[in-house]
Amino acid sequence: MTGKRSNGEGSIYPYRNTFAAYVWVTRPDGTKGRKYVYGKTRDEVHDKWIKLHAESKKGPVATSTPTLGTYLERWLKDVVEPDLKPKTAETYAMHVRLYVTPHLGSKRLDKLTVRDVRSWVNTLLAQCQCCAQGKDARRPETHRNPRQRRRCCAVGRCCGQIASRRTVQDARAVLRSALSNAVAEELILKNVAALVKVRSARRTRRKPWSVEEARQFLESARAAGDPLYPAYVLILVLGFRRGEVLGLTWSNVDLEAGEVTVEKQLQRIRRQLVHDEAKTDASMATLPLPQIAHTALQLRHKAQAAARKAAGDQWSGSDFVVTTRWGTPVEPRNFNRSFADRCARADVRTIRLHDTRHTCGSLLAALDVHPRIAMQILRHSKIAVTMEVYTHVPSEETRKALLRLGRHLGAQDPE
């Protein structure tokens, strides 16, 4: 290929070791301007040039390339929000707002380079986010509660709150996804974020509760008449996620048949409680109720009826299984706080709420439940995830502990 222009291709020309072309178009504001397209070969540019000619005949065409910040704003609104789950879309927006736009938002989309992205990644791995985001600066100088006052970065004592490697990985993944869409829309030629790698963080090995600790926790909750006792049973015995147990409605509970259907979850998204479909298709399932879970839900049904009668006209009338004394849904963060408080009252190790799913896996593995059956109960989409949970089970786990669990909590002893 000599680079000589063919007949009718007067606006296709070599450009920085590639090729470029332009078409005179009408901008959205009614003025005329050139719109450029780029490609690695003349044929590739010619195809884009033909498409651009057709597009210009249909209506106005924007000729300027947006900054990354402007593009990300449109991408979140037009691509992410319509296509992804609300919680995922909120997470994408959070990474864009806190980590991407402050550093790279002013860069023109087509001028963003691999070096820019690599420098951004290195900055995130070393920069105090309390300083960068002004967290301490937003606190008042004086407050009756010392913990609410300015206490670190804003008063010259940097707290060194550096983003974790996992957070940096996630931020880079969001940028890569956005630039992939820009490539598909032919706004840029290549995805520079895909060319920058972030070394994986070492996985933190969680230590879930033993069978004995799970028994002690549930015994404490039931003895204290904790209204959240049924929720604790579901997360420990059936591996419910927080959103699933808070989003469970009585219409999905069949006490006569002894079944419960996982269908929706309750999450706080953008300052609103959202009752949406479960995490994945694999998360939706109808599960048999073990005796302990069946009994706990029966207790909850009676307790809720009494609370409804006591509240009278102030009862909210929701169908949720887990509610406040007024019938309103329980706030996800409040559920976390209640769980931590119950751990302290039960005198057991405080673990993450999500780690109760690992405890459930431990119980199933210690019972010699086949991994495929455990996968269905835990509702994992991949068997590899279930097997990873099983690695938490110590070899000395015995059936005697499970027999004690059954005797103390009213479940049937395993054979």
pLDDT in tens, 23-72: 888 876 778 888 888 888 999 999 989 988 888 888 777 777 789 999 99
- The confidence score (pLDDT) of residue 385 equals 66
Which letter does DSSP use for residue 311 in this model? Answer: H
Let me know if domain 211-409 sits in CATH 1.10.443.10.
yes
C-alpha–C-alpha distance, residues 7 and 44, integer Å: 16
DSSP 204: P
For 367, which DSSP code?
T
Q: Where are the alpha helices (DSSP H) in 127-225?
A: 129-133, 165-184, 211-223
Residues of the chain with CATH 1.10.150.130: 68-127+162-195
Buried-exposed string 184-217: b where 16+ CB fall within 10 A, e elsewhere: eeeebeebbbbebebeeeeeeeeebbbbebbbbb
d(CA 244, CA 353): 13
Q: Rounded to a whole number, what is the distance in angstroms from the first to the last CA of the chain? A: 78
Gap between the Cα atoms of 106 and 159, Å rounded: 28
Q: 2-11: per-residue pLDDT in tens?
A: 455 554 445 7
Query: Count of H helices and E strands in the chain?
Result: 17, 8
The whole-number pLDDT of residue 407 equals: 52
CATH 1.10.150.130 fits 68-127+162-195, yes or no: yes
Dist CA 391 CA 238 (whole Å): 18
Cite the residue boundaries of each domain of the chain with CATH code 1.10.443.10.
Answer: 211-409
* Half-sphere exposure of residue 144: CA atoms within 13 angstroms, side-chain side: 0
| Residue entry with tokens 């050139």 | 34
Q: What is the pLDDT of residue 409?
A: 52
Q: Which residues of the chain have pLDDT under 70?
A: 1-10, 28, 202-203, 279-283, 362-374, 380-381, 383-415
What is the predicted pLDDT for the residue at 284? 77
Position 81 scores a pLDDT of 92
